[in-house]
Each structure stands twice: as C-alpha cells, then as structure tokens.
Amino acid sequence: MNKNIYIKDLLKKDFKEVWGLQTSLLDSIVALKKERRNTGKEINTPNYFLFVEHPHVYTLGKSGDLSNLLLNEDQLKEKGATFYKINRGGDITYHGPGQIVGYPILDLENFFTDIHKYLRLLEETIILTLAEYGIKGERSAGETGVWLDVGTPFARKICAMGIRASRWVTMHGFALNVNADLGYFDNIIPCGIRGKAVTSMHVELGRNVDEEEVKEKILKHFKELFEVEKYIKKEVD
C-alpha cells in the first residue's frame, strides 16, 4: 500500500479545467489497478491532493435539483459566473475567490475501503483546522460537510463536501469558506437545504484569514487522520 501523496497547489484555475485534470488522474489510477489485477504485477498506485481557487462558479451534483440555481443564463453572465452539472454527489454549491477547495484523488485501497469513513475523516480534517482558530465546527446529521451552531436557529455551513468514487478512487472533495464573498450564495439554495445560512472564517473571526496558513493546517490534520507517510510536491498538470 502506498501512503505517500503528491500535493499540488494549482492556485487560481477554471473549474472545468481542473475537473478534467481530476478525471485524468482518476482514470490513470484505475488503469493501473486494472493492469495489476490482470497481470498479477506488483504495481503501486499514486495518490494526489490538489488545492485550487476557482473563479465564480456554481456546480450541481448528479442528484441535484436545477431549481436550486436561482439565476438564468443571462444573470450568470452578469455575475461573472459559470455553471456546470457534474458527477459528484450532493446538490448545488458555489466556488469562488477566497475559498479553499481541496481535491484528494486517493486510491482508498491504499488507506481503507470505506466511503463513509472517508467523508467523516474529511470533515474531521476541517473541524480540527477550524478549532485552531477558535471556531467550533460540527457535523449535522444527514447533511455532509461542516457546520456551526448545529441544532440552533443559527446553524450555518462553513465547508461543503461532495465526492465521486470509482473502483475506490476518489475525486472532488471539499470547499472551505475562508475569505469568500458570501453574497454569491444568495443566488442558490446551498446544497438544496432551505432555511440554513452559510458563513466563512473571516465572518466568524471578524478579520481576513491567511489562506496559505489554513492550507498548511489542513494538510497537517489530513496527514495525521489518514496516516499519510509523506507529502511529495510534484507537477501534475
């Protein structure tokens, strides 16, 4: 089992371009697994972790309801935003500047074969990261992601999650609102859940937050929770 992970910060990139990169990486890992199974060769499969910041974009998961997007095509253009219906789980969400998006592309057979555990550890990674800033992140029963003040009238989501897995290889991931413009969430029913607000670290703390520092903390907790042996910086695009 290979518990090393190649990491790459893609900086600011278009959603569709990164979706294509993720798909390519996933397909290459699946191809190696098929070769290993068919030939009996000892072939290690790689793992990747991509960070990225997307220009304004709305994405709808495969089980999502298009009516949760409250803008038409012309209004999207006015907002400088794009829209994609994609192949992850979950409903609609927003990505944009000031948001840290993480895409772990892992062969879970290198770690554990349990999608539920994978999602819970992703949530725990964010919960532990937020705790370092004095923010108490929580899970909300039946609602993937990380929330604040669960069970109160002030419940609000700070990190959305949605994944796809094929032959135990993951893609897509999480989107943590750090310094994001929350006004863009007004144009959707986030994750298809009515009546619950969205927040960000900078709103909760009353100041802008160093995004590079947050990424370092995310990687630290991810490494501990997933028992990663080491991170390797590598060009993957």
* Active site (catalytic) residues: 191
Tokens for 193?
């859940």
Which class for 48: exposed (0-12), middle (13-18), buried (19 or more C-beta within 10 A)? buried
- E strand or H helix at 83, and its extent? strand 82-85
Q: In 3D, which of 104, 227, 101, 96 has the Cα closest to residue 164? A: 104
* Single-letter code of the amino acid located at 156: R
* Single-letter code of the amino acid located at 45: T
Tokens for 177?
């609102």
Rounded Cα distance, 58 and 35, in Å: 36
- E strand or H helix at 161, and its extent? strand 156-166
- H helices within the chain, ranges in order? 15-39, 73-78, 115-131, 201-205, 211-226
Residue owning tokens 């979706």: 19
Of how many residues is the chain composed?
237
